[in-house]
Structure formats: structure tokens, C-alpha cells
Structure 1
Amino acid sequence: MDYTVLQIVVTAIGALLVGFSKTGMPTLGIFVAAMLASIFPARESVGLLTPILITGDIIAILYYRKTVVWKYLVVLLPWVLAGIVAGYFVLGEISNGQLSVLIGALVLVLIVLFLFQGRLEKAMNFSFSKSRAVNGSLGILAGFTTMIGNAAGSIMSVYLLSKGINKTTFVGTNAYFFFIINLIKVPFTVYLGLITPHSLTLNAWMIPVVAIGALAGFKVLPHIPQKLFQRIVLALAAIGAIYLILE
């Protein structure tokens, strides 16, 4: 089946936003996933978006390769893999509506916890950012949500913001994280028939579009103050979560 003009145009807009989000403003990915899911069947949109995300990841890690903080990724990856496996078995077994509400609610809870992190840690004498249980739970949740709907960006954003890192370290670490887990997802999505030669043809046409978006991100990020960056990331994460709930 050939793609319609509308599908190609929306995919191109999504690819542009993916490039920009990977190098400049994370958490936009959830909106791209929603855009593609609105014009493609839900499962097909997951397979179409994954190679586009990997393209953006590659561009981002090449540029931000010196800013990644590996210790924040190492503690997550085993749990992320567990979440991806869980998402693989759940995909198609539960309605998209139920999953969207669940993911959206969890993201909002995480945002609230982040906003009150200092007060809660002081009151409870407990460090959320250093807790293995908290980090493991976030890893499982990130893996699960990225497998079922490419919606882990908000979760990872809250996790990285809780570490108190600067914006370039945030973007670099975020890029490496998603590059790794998106590669891990590929065999699962291929086996499920979500990535096909037909979808890869459209993906190939989107490579220069992703690159243009990434270039825009490179130019914009240095001009965004750190505090404003954090506020924008949280605001986009919250908007994305509310969208998932209302969808």
C-alpha cells in the first residue's frame, strides 16, 4: 500500500521535530508519536517512528559524545531491558486507551515528585535520585513505555532533571540512552512485523529532514538559559502526559 500525501507530510513534520528534540529540546517525542498514531494504525506508527528516532539519536550522539554521563545510564539499562520485554508481550494485548491513561498519570506523578523532591527528601530523610528502587522503577517504566508507544521521553526527562545536570549533559546523556534502547527495540519490532521494507523506504526519505531538525536544535540550545530549559522540559512533559490521559 502506497502512503498518502498527508501521511508523508505529517511524517516529515514528525521527522523534523524528532531531529530538533534530539539535539535541542527533549520531550517533544511524545507529540511526534501522537501525530503519527493519528494517521497510521497504532502498531504501524511505532514501527515507522523507531528508525526515525534512531537517525536522530545517531546525529545527537556524534555531536554530544563528550557530554554523556555513563553512570546515570548503567544503573538504568538492565531495568529498561526488562521493561522492553514486558512491553513486547503486552503490545496488542491491552487497549491503547488504557495504556495512554496509565502512562500519562504516571508521568504527572513523576513531575510532582520532582517539583517537591527537595522537601520530600528532607522530610523523609531519603534520596530519590540515589535510590536503587526508584531508579529501577523508572528504568522499567521507560523501557515499557518506549516499546508500546515511543513515549518514554517524559520519564527520562524527569529522571535526568532529578540529577541536577546542565542542559548539554542532559541532551547528550538522553541521546545515548535512547540510541541504545531504540537499537534494542529493533529486533522486537521487526519480529512483530512493525518495521518492514515498505516502511524503511519512507524512513530513508526522512533522513535529511531529521538532519535539518537536528541542525536547528544545535543552534537553539546554547541560547536557552538553564532554568528556562528545565521549565520547558517539565512543561512539555506535563502537556504530553495530559494529552495521553485525555486522548
Structure 2
Amino acid sequence: MAGFDAWIFAVAVPAVVFAGISKGGFGSGAAFAAAAILALVIPPGMALGILLPLLMLIDVATLRPYWRRWSWPDARVLVLGALPGVGLGAWLYRVAEPDVFRLLIGAITLGFVGWQALLRLGAIRPPARAMPAWGGGLAGVTVGFTSFVSHAGGPAAAVYLLSRGLDKTRFQATTVLLFWLVNIAKFVPYAALGIFSRQTLLLDLALAPFALLGAWLGVRAHRAVPERVFFAITYTLLTVTGAKLIWDGLV
């Protein structure tokens, strides 16, 4: 399509489908892999600008299946903390070079993989008791900042929500509501910073059906696909892309 070569589109399609599956069925934690993948072939700012409208579309598509099955008090604590985190991310975007964002996205990506590996090995454990509201506020700031700079707010949200003892579906529904609201909050500063463009809009229009396909697959995979299989693929993908982004940012 005009303004984008076939290679970029070929990379973007599976990345967006993957984001839809993650957000639709597996707690949103790995959806930011799409940003890491896209940042391998286009500038990080453009990758973020392309993905935000698509993530918002996925949010809307997945709200209905989980409607009112969330924990509103927990979502509210995280959203209130996320707002200053979004502001911090907007400030950094204004003053930092693109390579800083390659390094940030890469570091957050490898940090997520490392945290999950330690969790599964038993080296660290989820909080045994429910985190207090102030802990949720701090988690929310991290959600807002990491979501702004790399669409990677899922891990910080998971740390807080896992401590709350939510069942699988309630956890999933709460993350859907949370990131629907956080992504709305990100839209205005993204627009003000010039992250959106005619090119990103054109690619969004072309990729929208694939975002919806991914969301549809994710909702259905929520019960049918073992989480171990999905995340084994995810961690491999994230390790490779995270290392490559850090290399690109340093070189």
C-alpha cells in the first residue's frame, strides 16, 4: 500500500493478530510484543502510533464478552495511578531520542521474560496477601508509564491484580476494562505529540480487520488453549525481539 512496503505489512499483520489474541484471551500481558516486533522494522514512535488505535479497537471488541465481570475497585485504583504515569511517559517522549525508546522497549521486553521465568522457577512468588490501595497506585503509575512508551502496561497490572485473588475470567475482564480506559487517556497526548500521521492512519485502516480477528480468536482461546503453550511462544518471540531492539539502540 502507498507509503508502506510489503515487508512492513507482512510483519504488522501477524503482530496485530497476536496482540488481539493476547488482549482478548490472556490478560493483555504480552500484547506489547506487537510494539516490539514493529519497532524492528519502523521507528519506535511510528510503531506506537500505529498500534494505539488498533489496541483501542481490540478493547472495544473485547469489552462485551467480559462486560461487568471485572473488579471495578481494583481497576479504579490502577487507572488513577496510571494517569500521572501517562504524563511522565509523554514528557519523556518529548525530550528523548528514538534510540532511547528502542532501549526502553527492549529492556521492558526482556524484563518481562525474566520476571516470568523467575516466577515459574519459584525464585519469586506473587504477593501472598492482597496489596493495599497505595501499592495499587504505584503499580498504576508503572502501568501508565510503560503503556505510554511501549504499550507494555500488562505486567505491572498483573502484579497487583494477582495479589487480589481474582479468578481467571475476573482477572481477564479487569485488564480489558483497565486498558480500555488507559488507552483512551493516552490518545490525546499521542495526538498532541504528533505520533499519529496520515501514514499510520492508512495502515490502521488496512490492519483493523486483523485486529478484530485476533480479538475474536483470543476470546475463544480463553478457555480452549493452554496458557503454557501460548506463553511459551510469547517468551521466545519476546526474547529475540527485545535483544534485537537493545542491540539496535546501542549500535
What does 1:1-247 correspond to in 2, within 5 Å? 2-25=3-26, 26-91=28-93, 92-93=95-96, 95-96=100-101, 98-100=103-105, 103=108, 107=112, 116-117=124-125, 127=129, 129-224=130-225, 229=227, 236=234, 240=238, 244=242, 247=246
| Cα distance change of structure 1 residues 19 and 97 upon mapping to structure 2, 3 Å threshold | closer
The letter of the residue matching 1:204 is L
TM-score, scaled to structure 2: 0.81
Provide the identity percentage. 22
Q: Please give the alpha-carbon distance, in whole angstroms, between the structure 1 residues aligned to 2:156 and 2:228.
A: 14
| Cα distance change of structure 1 residues 198 and 167 upon mapping to structure 2, 3 Å threshold | same
Structure 1 vs Structure 2 CA RMSD: 2.9
- Would you say the 8 A contact 1:27–1:237 is kept in 2? no
The letter of the residue matching 2:5 is T
1:237 Cα deviation (Å)? 7.0
- What 5-or-longer segments of structure 2 have no aligned partner? 247-251
When structure 1 is superposed on structure 2, of 109-118 and 89-98 the one drifting more is: 109-118
Q: Please give the alpha-carbon distance, in whole angstroms, between the structure 1 residues aligned to 2:237 and 2:7.
A: 25
TM-score, scaled to structure 1: 0.82
Q: Please give the alpha-carbon distance, in whole angstroms, between the structure 2 residues aligned to 1:4 and 1:183.
A: 29
SS in 2 for 1:29: coil
When structure 1 is superposed on structure 2, of 63-72 and 151-160 the one drifting more is: 151-160
When structure 1 is superposed on structure 2, of 150-159 and 48-57 the one drifting more is: 150-159
1:68 Cα deviation (Å)? 1.3
| Cα distance change of structure 1 residues 66 and 31 upon mapping to structure 2, 3 Å threshold | same
The letter of the residue matching 1:179 is W
Partner of 1:124: none
1:162 Cα deviation (Å)? 2.4
- Would you say the 8 A contact 1:75–1:136 is kept in 2? yes
When structure 1 is superposed on structure 2, of 101-110 and 9-18 the one drifting more is: 101-110
The letter of the residue matching 2:45 is R
SS in 1 for 2:32: helix
| Cα distance change of structure 1 residues 101 and 221 upon mapping to structure 2, 3 Å threshold | closer
| Cα distance change of structure 1 residues 165 and 96 upon mapping to structure 2, 3 Å threshold | same
1:99 Cα deviation (Å)? 2.6
| Cα distance change of structure 1 residues 230 and 12 upon mapping to structure 2, 3 Å threshold | closer
SS in 1 for 2:165: coil
- Would you say the 8 A contact 2:56–2:180 is kept in 1? yes
- Would you say the 8 A contact 2:105–2:149 is kept in 1? no
SS in 1 for 2:70: coil
Q: Please give the alpha-carbon distance, in whole angstroms, between the structure 1 residues aligned to 2:45 and 2:18.
A: 20
- What 5-or-longer segments of structure 1 have no aligned partner? 122-126
| Cα distance change of structure 1 residues 62 and 105 upon mapping to structure 2, 3 Å threshold | same
Q: Please give the alpha-carbon distance, in whole angstroms, between the structure 2 residues aligned to 1:198 and 1:44.
A: 9
Q: Please give the alpha-carbon distance, in whole angstroms, between the structure 2 residues aligned to 1:156 and 1:199.
A: 28
- Would you say the 8 A contact 2:143–2:153 is kept in 1? yes
When structure 1 is superposed on structure 2, of 194-203 and 35-44 the one drifting more is: 194-203
The letter of the residue matching 2:32 is I
| Cα distance change of structure 1 residues 160 and 238 upon mapping to structure 2, 3 Å threshold | farther
